[in-house]
Structures are given as structure tokens and as C-alpha cells.
Structure 1
């Protein structure tokens, strides 16, 4: 799976950008290369927001990839959710609903003034997973990975400042060069709040520079800053779902 998002919908953390300049390809070329190298791959142009690409080729049968579009919400999911039955009941879904549909429904509940904060919604997902979601109606990106790095998942910054997500490290390197890193475990990323830990929601994230075998800085990994503490965020009522999304 692959997603490239413009700065208007996903602001790339400064710490992810490496000083060393390496040869990369453009965002459009990256998506085209991804699809041409994979049989049956599908790319979705998100207009000014970016693009998402998906392929089921060479997937781990225990960690399948799924793609769905519901009410202008695009989502790519990889992995498996162990507590899928109670989540179907919680979100009022039928028995045929799979993981990617649950993610979309959980996001819709969160967006439309649901009873839980974003960190609780993701923390309720038990299993090995990574997902990329884009809501075209409110121009919101929502990305998360499990607490144990059960699914290979990476992100990076391309030369134009776009943020790139993929489960394939070589794809990330092709588009971002040295400005890439594993996506932090137990974390989620959103348009309005950037990178946050759902495992430690009251802690800030800090960038830790990565250095390769040649001594060059290769972007940063992000870890929970144990010395920090954020004020608890209460629920806020606003006039519209689109505005409410700013609270996560």
C-alpha cells in the first residue's frame, strides 16, 4: 500500500526530513512505479490532496491488505483485528463487515461527535495492523499502526515536503531518499494534530535523529517523551463535523 499526501492535508514533521540530499522520483512517478511493478494494483487520484495506491500482490495471508471507499472516505488496511466481533457490535455493523469497514465506521463515529477521543478509538483495535484513511469531504488524513509493529509500515518526506506512507521500505526510499523512518508503533497521525501516541496520550512525541552506516542523518524516529505531559483534552462541541475534526 502507498499514500502520498500534499502539505495542505498532512503536514510532515520537520524531524522526518534529512539534511542529506538523495535522488528521488516525483510523487506521480512514485505512484506509477508502484502500480506498474504490481499486478492488479489500483491507484486513486485524490486531486489536490494526493493519491492512494493499493495492491494485494505478495501479501502475507495472515496480514491481508484491504481497500474500501464509503461516503467519500478512502481507506487501505493491512493486518488483522482480533476483537473484530465486539467492534462490529459496537459500531452497529453486520456480520460480513471486515477490518477496513470497521476502521471507516470507527472514524465516522469519531468525526461525528462520537463518545470517545481518537486515542481511545485506535487503542480499542487489538491485533496487528496499519491503516491509511483519507476523508475527502473534510480533507482529513488519519493513519495508525499497532503497538507491536506487527505490520511493516514506514513514512517519509519527499523533496517537495509531501508525506509518504507505505508498507514497502524500498518504495519509501525511492520517493523520499534518506528522509524516511519506520512509522512509530502505538501511534497515529492526523491532519490537525500531527503525530500522537495512543498508548501514552498525555505524552508528547520527540524526534530522535537516525544515522546510517556512513554517518549521515537519515531523518528521525519518533519516541514518546517520558518527561512531558499534555493537558487532558476534553470533548468539544462545535457547529459541524468538519470543524469538530480539529479536535483530533
Structure 2
């Protein structure tokens, strides 16, 4: 899977930018999507207009960590992996028995966006399983991206020479698009347009960039780790569940 989001939709953390990126700048949005399609048979692409592009294929995938794609009410989502407590989540979100993982993610996001009774970290923490997903809401130009606490699904992110955010489960695609400016997506974390990168395992802790050097001795995009010494305001309003939480995910 692959997504390229314009910097106006998803602002890249500064730590992803490598000082060597000008020497190895990677490819732009359209050329990277074209390359992905050329090396992945049966690829499906979605043009998101000025917001960017998404692409995925069901070929060459791990049968234990399948990719699934869906579009519901202008919400695009690619999910890879599986959720173990899927039956419980279907009941929680009032979904039919036929609903799969990607539909659950979309419904969870809609709940957060429209009137979520829980903060986003709680929603992601309730997903038990091995997963990574990329969601884009074209109506509000918002992203929602996450990976499980163990990093079970290979998942990378980076920034291209135009400053756009690039995400993929294929490290070679990321390298081609971002040069040195990439890193594994942080385990146990999620990223939103409004809130940036956050830990759902430790929601009251800050994340800090840790320098990462490749085999050639060049500085690459940083790994983000939980700063155990930090503490931040949860941002959770102390009001009843009838309040609108849409600005807190």
C-alpha cells in the first residue's frame, strides 16, 4: 500500500527530514504512484485531488496480514493485518456481521469525527490485533493513520523533496520516494491531521525524535520514541459524553 499526502493535509514531523535529502531527494507524487503501479500487478489507485494519492494491491501480500480497501461516505481507507476482537467491535459500533476490519476503522473514525465519546487514543487502543492502516477523509481533508503496539505489519513513513508525507508497507517504495528522509512508522502510535503524531499506549507522554544513521553513516529520518520523562495535558474536556469531541482526535 502507498499514500502520498500533500503537506497542507498532513504536516510531516521535522525529525523525518534528513540533512542528506537534497543529495538524494527521491521522487514526486505522480512518478512514485506510477512506479508503484509498474512493480505491483493489479494495483488500484485513488486520485485525491490536491490532497494527494493512494494506491494498493492485493498481489504479493502476506496471507496472514491481508490488505483490504473500502470507501464509505468519501472516506478512503487501506487496512493491512487483522483484528482479533472484531466481533466485540462490530457490536460496539452497531455494525452488521458482514463488516470487516476496514469498515470498523472507518466507522471508528466517523464516531470520533462526528461525536466521539472517547479520545482517539482509546479508540485505537481498543483494536486488538496486528495492523496498520491509512485513512483519508475527503470531506474534511483529514488523515488518520496508525500501527499496532508491536509493529507487526511492516510500515514506513517519510517526506519527499516537496515536503509531502509518504506512507507505505514497502521500504523500497519509501526509499525511492523519500531518499534518506524516512523511518519505520512508530509502534503503538497514530497520526492525525489535527493532532500530529501521538502514542495511544502512552497518551500523556510526548514523543521525541531519536537520530537514526544508516550503514553508510548518513543521518536518516528519525525514529520517534516515547519520552518517559515527559508529561502533557491530555486535552480531554471534563464534560459529559453529550459534548462534541470532534476537535480532540
TM class by shorter chain equals: over 0.9
Do 1:119 and 1:199's aligned partners in 2 also have CA atoms closer than 8 Å? yes
SS in 2 for 1:111: helix
In the TM superposition, structure 1's runs of 4+ consecutive aligned residues that sit over 4 Å from their partners are none
Measured in 2, the distance between the counterparts of 1:116 and 1:51 equals: 30
Give the superposition deviation at 1:25.
1.6
Report what 1:101 is aligned to.
Answer: 103
Which SS does the other structure have where 1:144 is aligned? strand
SS in 1 for 2:68: strand
User: Deviation of residue 244 (structure 1)?
Assistant: 5.3
- SS across alignment from 2:110: helix
Give yes or no for contact 2:46–2:53 (8 Å, CA) kept in 1.
yes
| Residue of structure 2 in register with 1:64 after alignment | 66
Q: Give the alignment partner of residue 84 of structure 2, picking from 82, 94, 99.
A: 82
Judge conservation of contact 2:117–2:245 (CA < 8 Å) in 1.
Answer: no
- Post-superposition Cα deviations, 1:95-135, rounded to whole Å, max 9, x if no partner, equal 11000000000000111111110000000000000000000
Give the equivalent residue in structure 1 for 2:165: 163
Q: Contact 2:116/2:245 (CA < 8 Å) preserved in 1? A: no
Write the mapping of 1:128-207 to structure 2, written as runs, cut at 5 A.
128-207=130-209
CA distance in 2, matches of 1:246, 1:164: 24
2:29 corresponds to which residue? 27
What TM-score results when the alignment is normalised by the length of structure 1? 0.95
Cα distance change of structure 1 residues 68 and 236 upon mapping to structure 2, 3 Å threshold:
farther
Alignment coverage as a number of residue pairs: 244
Q: Unaligned 5+ residue runs, structure 2?
A: none
The offset of 1:23, in angstroms, is 4.4
Deviation at 1:209, TM superposition (A): 0.9
Whole-angstrom distance in 2 between the partners of 1:34 and 1:161: 19
Which residue number in structure 1 is paired with residue 55 of structure 2? 53
Partner of 2:17: 17
